[in-house]
Amino acid sequence: MSQKFVEQLKEILGPNGWLEGEDTESYLTDMFGKQGETPLVARPDTTEQVSEVVKICAANNVAIIPQGGNTNVCRMAIPPENKSAVILSMARMNKIIDIDPECSTITAEAGCFVQSLQDYAREHNRLFSPDWGARGSAMIGGAVATNGGGQNVFRYGTTREQVLGMEVVLPDGQIWDGMRALRKDNSGYDLKQLFIGSEGTLGIITKLVFKLHPNQGQHCSLFGILTGMSELMNYLELAQKVGGDKLTAFELLPGLGVEKALNRYPALQRPLDQKSDWYVLVRFSDWENVEELVTTLFEQGFEAGILANAVMSQNLEQENNLWEIRDQMIPTQYFKSRLLKWDVSVPISKITHFLDSAENLVREHQQAAIIYVTGHVGDGNIHYTVIPEGEGDPGFDELCNRIYQDVDELVWSLGGSIAAEHGVGQLLKSRVRNQKSDVEYSMMQQLRHIFDPQGIMNPGKLIDS
């Protein structure tokens, strides 16, 4: 990359619009550590600047990595190992442009934080539904580019289902204005869908229009222990029967994770004295008080012999405490040795079958491995982590590969996916190849090539170009 190229970028971006040298370190570092190089982190503050930066990169055949909050968990938003690329940070494009309560829509630049849209929508008595632990640092452009899931999917769908329109800078610098706020538009291919979940490989999302939902400000949750894991689906069914569309989340928490969270964060309150290998966390939400409904779920759970022990949140503080515990189930903060990870999606009816079979497979390979599971049960999404013993021992890598292979194949045999909501990035690229037929993989490659024939957009992620 010539000095002239870098100077051209700086001129377009202005003095506050770029970083270099030591200041780029954090942009090259994700949860797995530092990787790659960058001549410059571009921090444009208009779509036109994004377009100009892309045009210069395309003319010089330089790779571009779109970056939002860099909270992804699949190595998606930094340059490939030993490679250099311009990082295009959306951090300065952080304006909420408009909220339209009549149409229940919100329009914003892609660098806004997820939480900023949640808060702004709430002030207007509306709900922006994407929500997960990284809400304060993940950006809406990143949320769309990964099709983020989280805790509200069961009731409102993934981020994809919230997107009505978008503006995108294409890999040749052209600007596509698809900022429509329509619920219906069958005027041809729905191009915005291609960019949702594209992980920065097809273009740079600069603005978005989302649909909002009525703000169901009343929440009440139940935190309970089941009489056995075989009752998991029965309790989900009961919660659906009792709550109907007021059931907004049904989560599974590992006992090990709850203990680790309570130890690490002393401000968290222990919800139940009794300890268990598993807990369920069920939430109902509505405009009106939902306590009575949760009480019914509580009572009927015991009557049906499904619940062994449970508590309900009695006030906002207790409600927040339960969900803060849920947010802290992230395994990387508790285990420092090698983690084997699956973001499993299976048909909901097959969750317990998956859990039993996967445990058997892992134990066949290593009896002592720690199995750490948390999940959005209502969506059939299980975050499955195995921590084998013996890192550094001869044969350890081989053991890990065998476990990966067996559990991947189990997931596929159940009609599932190993990339439910976190996406693919660099981390799952080679494993996801085996989930796709040649026909499907080739369609994806052709699509990528149509948008980005030079292969400059986020190389090394999602699929081989």
- Cα-Cα-Cα-Cα torsion 372, 377, 382, 387, nearest 10 degrees, comes to 0
Q: Is residue 459 a contact residue for ligand FAD (CB under 6 A)?
A: no
SS3 content of the chain, % helix, strand, coil (to 5): 40, 25, 40
Least distance CB 256 / ligand FAD (angstroms): 18
Token digits for 371?
């199995």
DSSP state of 328: T
SS3 60: coil
Token digits for 392?
């550094």
DSSP string covering 71-86: --SSS-SSPPTT-B-E
Binding span for ligand FAD by CB under 6 A among 145-153, 211-219, 221-229, 294-302? 145-153
In 3D, which of 436, 403, 406 has the Cα closest to residue 419?
Answer: 436
In the complex, which residue's CB is closest to ligand FAD?
A: 142
Q: Is residue 165 a contact residue for ligand FAD (CB under 6 A)?
A: no
Between 200 and 243, name the residue whose CB sits nearer to ligand FAD: 200
Q: Would you tell me how many other CB atoms lie within 10 Å of the CB of residue 292?
A: 10
> What is the rounded distance in angstroms from the CA atom of residue 455 to the CA atom of residue 465?
7
Q: Is residue 91 a contact residue for ligand FAD (CB under 6 A)?
A: no
Using CB under 6 A, pick the residue from 44, 79, 141, 416 that binds ligand FAD: 141
Task: Bin 4: left if φ > 0, else alpha if -120 < ψ < 50, else beta.
Answer: alpha
Token digits for 422?
């976190």
Q: Would you tell me how many other CB atoms lie within 10 Å of the CB of residue 226?
A: 22
> What is the rounded distance in angstroms from the CA atom of residue 378 to the CA atom of residue 246?
13
Q: Is residue 428 a contact residue for ligand FAD (CB under 6 A)?
A: no
Least distance CB 134 / ligand FAD (angstroms): 4
Between 65 and 253, name the residue whose CB sits nearer to ligand FAD: 65
Site string for ligand FAD, 8-47 (x = CB under 6 A): ----------------------------------------
Binding span for ligand FAD by CB under 6 A among 52-60, 69-77, 176-184, 241-249? 69-77
Between 291 and 327, name the residue whose CB sits nearer to ligand FAD: 327
Specify whether the CB–CB gap between 148 and 129 falls below 8 A: no
SS3 258: helix
> What is the rounded distance in angstroms from the CA atom of residue 71 to the CA atom of residue 27?
11
Q: Is residue 53 a contact residue for ligand FAD (CB under 6 A)?
A: no
Least distance CB 310 / ligand FAD (angstroms): 24
Token digits for 258?
């709850």
Count interface residues toward ligand FAD (CB under 6 A): 35
Residue 86 amino acid letter: V
> What is the rounded distance in angstroms from the CA atom of residue 388 to the CA atom of residue 368?
7
Between 219 and 383, name the residue whose CB sits nearer to ligand FAD: 383
**CA-based torsion, 108, 114, 118, 120: positive or negative:** negative
Between 8 and 206, name the residue whose CB sits nearer to ligand FAD: 206
Least distance CB 145 / ligand FAD (angstroms): 3
Binding span for ligand FAD by CB under 6 A among 137-145, 211-219, 234-242, 310-318? 137-145
Between 18 and 113, name the residue whose CB sits nearer to ligand FAD: 113
Q: Is residue 146 a contact residue for ligand FAD (CB under 6 A)?
A: yes
Segment 250 to 309, residues that bind ligand FAD, using CB under 6 A: none
Using CB under 6 A, pick the residue from 142, 178, 301, 416 that binds ligand FAD: 142
Using CB under 6 A, pick the residue from 45, 199, 231, 286 that binds ligand FAD: 199
Q: Is residue 329 a contact residue for ligand FAD (CB under 6 A)?
A: no
> What is the rounded distance in angstroms from the CA atom of residue 370 to the CA atom of residue 260?
14
Using CB under 6 A, pick the residue from 12, 42, 90, 282 that binds ligand FAD: 90
Q: Is residue 71 a contact residue for ligand FAD (CB under 6 A)?
A: yes
Using CB under 6 A, pick the residue from 108, 458, 459, 460 that binds ligand FAD: 458
DSSP string covering 12-38: HH-TTSEE-GGGGGGGGEETTEE--B-
> What is the rounded distance in angstroms from the CA atom of residue 409 to the CA atom of residue 402?
11
Q: Is residue 77 a contact residue for ligand FAD (CB under 6 A)?
A: yes
Binding span for ligand FAD by CB under 6 A among 138-146, 232-240, 258-266, 352-360? 138-146
> What is the rounded distance in angstroms from the CA atom of residue 451 to the CA atom of residue 348?
35
Using CB under 6 A, pick the residue from 66, 165, 378, 380 that binds ligand FAD: 66
Using CB under 6 A, pick the residue from 204, 280, 344, 407 that binds ligand FAD: 204
Contact residues for ligand FAD, defined by CB under 6 A: 65-73, 76-77, 90, 110, 132-134, 138-139, 141-143, 145-146, 148-150, 199-200, 204-205, 330, 421-422, 458, 461
